Amino acid sequence: MLRQRDKDILKHIENYKAITIYQAYRMFYNTSKFGYDQSKKRLKDFEDLGLLKSYKEKITGQKVYYMEHQVSLHDLYVLDFYSMLYFTGCNNIELIKTPRYLNNMIIPDAFFKFQFRENLYFLLLEVDFTHQTNMSKFQMYEKLFREGTLQKECYNTFPVIVVMSNSTNIRYESNNFDVIYIDFSMSNFNHKILCI
């Protein structure tokens, strides 16, 4: 028999195509001392029941569970970020993957809207795994800022741009919006993203 948490996990995989053990732990088992082990066991149970398939991601070594198709490492990093929002106590998290702005001239990897404590946050995520978010893309963000469309959707604020990257080569600073750099391990997530 499936419990509500089981249904929530399967619904998440249906919506976002995949989940890792760590992501399941952060979102669904984070109240238990043995949450990681519980998430690992439950996902394996789903696989044994034929509800999920799995593969080992070559670069990270993480086991990934999915229903229909394997997902890219790029997409897994977006879902890692999503799961960290849950893990740190954010609420009402909305994720839009690859939103399109300025007639498709700029396509971030994800748009996030969420609440933390009494504050509402808007973020655009750039995952720099296969490419670097370069100066020309930041110039497009400046153009998007000047256009004003996103500010109408985000209560007169422009989203913070979060660049997930292990590179320290490019550090863009804007007078119009905040740019935050975070590594793939998301160290200092609370401090960098939530300022706590």
Answer with the residue of higher pLDDT: 31 or 70. Answer: 70
Q: Quickly state the pLDDT bin for 76 (edges 50, 70, 90).
A: very high
Burial grade of 30 (CB within 10 A; 0-12, 13-18, 19 or more): middle
- The rounded distance, in Å, linking the Cα atoms of 84 and 145 is 27
CA gap 195, 190 in Å, rounded: 6
Whether residue 186 has pLDDT greater than 90: yes
Per the structure block, which two tokens stand in for 182?
A: 């975070």
pLDDT at 155 (0 to 100)? 95
Domains of the chain: 4-70 (1.10.10.10), 76-194 (3.40.1350)
Give residue-wise pLDDT tens across range 23-38: 999 999 998 889 999 9
- The pTM for the full model equals 0.94
Tell me what pLDDT residue 184 has. 94
Closest by CA position to 157, among listed 124, 190, 192, 127? 124
Q: What is the pLDDT of residue 65?
A: 98
Of 4-8, 98-102, 131-135, 158-162, the one with minimum mean pLDDT is 131-135
Question: What is the average pLDDT value for the chain, to the nearest integer?
Answer: 94
- Per-residue model confidence (pLDDT) at position 5: 95
Residue bearing tokens 């401090």 = 191
